Amino acid sequence: MSDAEILMFSPMLPIVEKTLAEKLTLHRLWTMDDPESFLADKAANIKGIAYGGHTPLTANMIDRFPNLEIIANFGVGYDAVDAVHAGTKSIVVTNTPDVLTDEVADTAMGLTLMTVRELSAAERHLRAGKWLQGAYPLTRGTMSGRTMGILGLGRIGQAIARRAEAFGVKIAYHRRTRQDDIAWDYYDSPEALAAACDILMIVLPGTPQTHHLVDAKVLAALGPDGIVINIGRGSVIDEEALVKALQDGTIRSAGLDVFEHEPSVPDALIAMDHVVLLPHVGSASIHTRDGMGKLVADNIIAWFETGKPLTPVPETPVPAAT
């Protein structure tokens, strides 16, 4: 096994640290008395980074490590890593797909049910003792007969679609190109998709191309019975436009697991009783997070053992092993 030195900026799951420390030299930056002095003295020794996403891994930070070969990101989304810049320097970036697909898809359906049926508000009604004064009002929401438009039909989007079909929901989708082997209805823009559905399910990563893709026009196309569910990235929605659409009845409701500036959530959203808000828990189970952590470590180990990471992202073509 290589004696490569690996850097971890901040604490990650024990499985990540244990797996890496058993086979490689692992440096834990947060435990050091003077992290800046360590970086100044030892940055050239670092060949791999296990990255937990706590602070952005910018081009300037990447450039501090002249011999860096791999950045293993914890999570499917890797928008906090400048993967394009890494790719120009032949540094491989990896993520953790598949491991969390089912967990996030389950969360998406749970969030959809909570929002459509107003289950969170009904629970608050009971906990506040209001049931003693009267039953929770009948809701307009039902899953039956709805159309779910999935914005971003990748692994997770398809897993959500299969679950939604079991509820009798019709599926439509938008992605950059039509997928010939998929029978669900395809729409060539987010606005066209929104006009054709009443549940808009967002499963997109946060990139410059997806920033505010769901804007006031898309929300208007969704219509007054429309519901937005976001388990992708908060930056995909223009949050100010969403608040306004909810306040003036342009759409009916929203279920959000992610936010544009999380963990900060707009007070206006928190004040809306008909909106369901979760603190980014889409994959937050011990089983799934341990699987993600193991894949972070396994990507780094595979790189130094074989020159082939397990799950590289497309912006960083894998260079020949040295």
Residues marked as catalytic: 233, 262, 280
Rounded to whole angstroms, the Cα distance separating 75 from 289 reads 9
Half-sphere CA count of 309, side-chain side, radius 13 A: 26
Write the burial class of residue 5 (CB in 10 Å: 0-12 exposed, 13-18 middle, 19+ buried): middle
Which two structure tokens, joined as six digits, stand for 150? Answer: 């999935």
Q: Closest Cα to residue 227, out of 248, 192, 260, 256? A: 256
Q: Two tokens at 276?
A: 């369901």
d(CA 63, CA 89): 9
User: What one-character DSSP code corresponds to residue 82?
Assistant: -
Q: How far apart are CA 19 and CA 33, in angstroms?
A: 24
- Per the CB < 8 A criterion, the answer to whether 199 and 169 are in contact is yes
Residue 124 half-sphere exposure toward CB, CA atoms < 13 A: 10
Closest CA to 311 of 302, 66, 319: 302
